[in-house]
Amino acid sequence: MSAPTLRRARMKIAVLGTGMVGHALAGKLVALGHEVMMGSREAGNPKGTEWAAQAGPRASAGSFADAVATAELVINATPGMVSLAALEEAGAENLAGKVLLDVSNPLDFSHGFPPSLSVCNTDSIAETIQRTFPEARVVKALNTVMAPLMVDPLRLDGGAHDVFVAGNDDGAKAAVVGILREFGWLPEHIRDLGGLEVARGTEMWMPLWLRIFMRQQQGKLFNIAVVSE
Angle, in degrees to the nearest 10, between helices 83-90 and 125-132: 30
CA distance 88 to 218: 40
- Under the banding of pLDDT at 50, 70 and 90, the label for residue 5 is very low
Q: What is the pLDDT of residue 111?
A: 87
pLDDT band per the 50, 70, 90 thresholds, residue 7: low
pLDDT of 6 higher than 70: no
More confident residue, 8 or 166: 166
pLDDT at 212 over 90: yes
Helices (H) and strands (E) counted in the chain, each on its own, are 10, 10
Q: How confident is the model at residue 23 (pLDDT cuts 50, 70, 90)?
A: very high
The per-residue pLDDT of the chain, averaged, comes to: 94
Residue 217's pLDDT is: 81
Strand order in the sheet with 99-102: 59-63, 35-40, 12-16, 73-76, 99-102, 137-141, 163-167, 190-192
CATH of segment(s) 12-215: 3.40.50.720
